[in-house]
Chains A and B, each alone.
Chain A
Amino acid sequence: MKRTPHIDRKYLPLMVTIALFIGLYLYGMVQYRGFSSPQVFYNLLIDNAFLIITSIGMTFVILAGGIDLSVGAMIAFTTVLSAYMLENLGLSPILVIPGVLLFGVLFGATMGAIIHFFKVQPFIVTLAGMFFARGMCFVISTDAITISDPFYRAVALYRIPVFGTGFISINVVIVLIVLLAALYLAHLTRFGRTVYAIGGNEQSALLMGLPVARTKILVYMLNGFCSALAGVVFSIYMLSGYGLYTNGLELEAIASVVIGGTMLTGGVGYVIGTVFGVLIQGLIQTIIMFQGTLNSWWTKIVVGLLTLVFIGLQSAFNSPRFIRRAEARAIRAEADPALEAAK
């Protein structure tokens, strides 16, 4: 019996995620007419642009062993603040966009500082942040504000053709830039290594002399930036600002990260997995839409179960028995590659 090529254990959850995505996509293509159009895939990116951005930010937080529940509220707040500054104050987008992004960074930094210096659980602090941001939306405006700014409208309506197969929006380009930057940050910088180290074991990271305090605060700053950017993208997508937008989005973002193969205990996972996590959720929604008769709330149930399955997979992959077996196999392969390959 021929053995499949040896895959490093740490890539297994990621492989499962990508395989699931491809499997679901093939299922959709076989089942439904029109599903194989490339535009279906581009729409997946267009409709989930904001979710991908904020989930990427969340990945860093979770990799560092934290959690941020404020992202959904932060996105809603960004849409309201942008709409208010554009419409009611008549400010130019050149001021508005950097302004809201700066606010996101400061908001994240504040939460990070409280979490680190007061040693409060991130769960509680970001919960307070969520209440605060959600409430501030309504302090600014209880109604939805439509954005009529020409720049926002132009960006929203602009379509970029992709080799004649369809089109994407500017938001998708932003997503791709964020993704590349995140991949660089996570895997090619000292900051990225420190994030993984803190998530693995904060005490050890501290003893190794890594800048734990700075990195932890930076992670929440980064996530604040990502959620604010997602808010900008979302306000372009919806062309309005409203305090009730993206209710419960933090859970979708966390689910994406988990489905993407990142361990919630921190230290293990990949940014690219998160992107697939979002896409899988979007794909489930698309399939349910194509199916036509199923209700949209099935999405919630399926995503919930999927999250559970992936958590189950994670604990299976990390069970002592599995690790022992994998290590034994690796050792055997090293000692006698021919024998192991022949098996």
Chain B
Amino acid sequence: MTSLSRGWERIRNAGLFWPLAALALVMLFNLIFTPNFFRLEIKNGHLFGSLIDILNRGAPLMLMAIGMTLVIATAGVDLSVGAVAAICAATATVLVGNVTGATNMPLWEVIPITLGVALLCGLWNGLLVSRARIEPMVATLVLMVAGRGIAQLITGGQIITVYYERFFYFGAGYLLGLPFTLFIVAGVMLFAWLMTRRTAIGLFIESVGTNASASFYSGINEKNVKLLAYVFCAFCAGIAGIIISSNVKSADANNVGLYMELDAILSVVIGGTLMSGGRFSLAGSVVGALLIQSVTTTIYAFGVPPEVVLVVKAVVVLFVVLLYSQPVKVALDKLSRRRGVRA
């Protein structure tokens, strides 16, 4: 019994347990209540089905969540990811232009330029936080407010529609029967994982998030670590922006990535990374993003008006946050310990 409860405690404390359990719960719900939820079909050599749909539609959110994880791990937050996605979507579509079947600029120039814009946005945020020492929430708030204005300036206030087939590949294309977006997410995830877990950068980020001044005194370039996190986060948001604009074949400066900063933060929090910084879990954030996307898709599958999704999200956020909160954790620990003693 004691070993059992200890095992249970180990499982409960493992980073990925809660997000995966929640995801499993949503899946179980779908297994029972949503017909054909798990059915996969092959049409024209591509896989189709709700699960693939979740993965495909969740791609921008997963990307943002990966970037946001590093920022939150440095005890910061980036509110501008939605606006950065809008800026990049606007940039990409304007560069491609709305000529039928053609592009104004070859794609191998459009994509690097767009990502360059994203990096600039990240640099701006990162410099404000690391060099100007402005509180992250406020520093990124500036780009969040101004970013939509900039995006509208780029598009000239119009919704730019593109008609270039090859540009659609990023958001709606298939590779080996799977959505191309999945490969993008996998690539970014692999890059982030290698960067943080196969070099010392991950350790630096955790140390800066736990105690920035102690890290500084132990010789870590705390400013550049923060800068890197914000640049990487904006980079992820930029890719997300390209995927979104490619998927809907247009860029609406007011709506691309709207509220996504909140979803991204939520994904990270669900994934078990604390808002106070320190240890982080990239996989957890991706699972968190998938959880949010599955909840959204599930609600849609029930024919509930899309707006109600917000209410459900609110309840989910509250539930998750309360679960992670200190008083509840203490109470849970006490409960399991008491059970252990009795055994």
A: which residues have CB within 8 A of B?
67, 114, 117-121, 123-125, 127-132, 134-139, 142, 243, 248, 251-252, 254-255, 258, 264-265, 295, 297-301, 303-305, 307-308, 311-312, 315
Contacts and interface: CB of A to CB of B under 8 A. Distances in A.
A118 B134 CA distance: 27
A318 B269 CA distance: 32
B305 A142 contact: yes
Interface string B116-132: 00000000000010001
Given A132-B314, A136-B311, A304 B142 contact: yes
Given A127-B317, A128-B321, A135 B142 contact: no
Nearest to B149: A300
A139 B309 CA distance: 10
Contact of A251 (B144, B311, B321, B325): B144
15 contacts: A118-B321, A124-B317, A127-B266, A128-B314, A131-B262, A131-B314, A131-B317, A132-B315, A135-B312, A138-B310, A295-B153, A298-B149, A304-B145, A305-B146, A311-B134
B99 interface: no
A120 B145 contact: no
Contacts of A264: 135, 137-138
A243 B145 CA distance: 21
B312 A297 contact: no
Residue among B144, B314, B325, B328 with max Cβ neighbours from chain A (10 Å): B314
Contact residues of A: prevailing secondary structure: helix
B309 A307 contact: no
Given A119-B326, A300-B146, A139 B269 contact: no
B157 A255 contact: no
B279 interface: no
Contacts of B326: 118-119
Residue among A125, A128, A303 with the highest chain B CB neighbour number at 10 A: A128
A297 B157 contact: yes
Closest CB pairs A-B (n = 6): A304-B146, A138-B307, A135-B310, A135-B311, A300-B149, A132-B314
A120 B325 contact: yes
A301 B83 CA distance: 12
B145 A307 contact: yes
B145 A255 contact: yes
Nearest to B309: A135
B311 to A, nearest CB: 3
B50 to A, nearest CB: 22
B307 A142 contact: yes
A119 B262 contact: no
A282 to B, nearest CB: 15
Interface in B79-102: none
Contacts of A295: 152-153, 157
B160 to A, nearest CB: 15
A300 B145 contact: yes
A259 B77 CA distance: 21
Interface in B226-250: none
A9 B153 CA distance: 39
Nearest to A110: B318
A65 B139 CA distance: 17
A123 B322 CA distance: 14
Contacts of A265: 135
B291 to A, nearest CB: 15
Interface residues of B, number: 45
Nearest to B310: A135
Nearest to B135: A264
B141 interface: yes
B334 to A, nearest CB: 16
A117 B327 contact: yes
B311 A311 contact: no
Interface of B: 77, 128, 132-135, 137-139, 141-150, 152-153, 157, 262, 265-266, 269, 275, 305, 307-315, 317-318, 321-322, 325-328
Given A130-B262, A307-B145, 4 more contacts: A118-B327, A129-B314, A137-B307, A311-B142
A129 B150 CA distance: 29
B149 A304 contact: yes
A136 to B, nearest CB: 6
A139 B308 CA distance: 6
Given A258-B138, A311-B138, A114 B144 contact: no
Contacts of B317: 124, 127-128, 131
Contacts of A137: 307
Nearest to B326: A119
A120 B149 contact: no
A297 B148 contact: yes
A331 to B, nearest CB: 27
A303 B145 contact: yes
A2 to B, nearest CB: 34
Contact of B145 (A121, A130, A251): A251
A189 B309 CA distance: 42
A163 to B, nearest CB: 37
B86 to A, nearest CB: 12
A139 B318 CA distance: 19
Given A114-B318, A295-B153, A301 B305 contact: no
A119 B149 contact: no
Interface centre among A67, A124, A132 (most CB of B within 10 A): A124
Contacts of B143: 304
B305 to A, nearest CB: 6
Contacts of B313: 128, 131, 135
A255 to B, nearest CB: 7
A254 B148 contact: no
B327 A301 contact: no
Contacts of B144: 251
A295 B151 CA distance: 13
A120 B328 CA distance: 11
A121 B153 contact: no
Contacts of A123: 77, 137, 275
**Which of A117, A139, A297 has the most chain B CB atoms closer than 10 A to its own CB?**
A297
Contacts of B327: 117-119
A298 B156 CA distance: 11
Contacts of B137: 67, 123, 264
Contact of A297 (B139, B153, B275, B322): B153
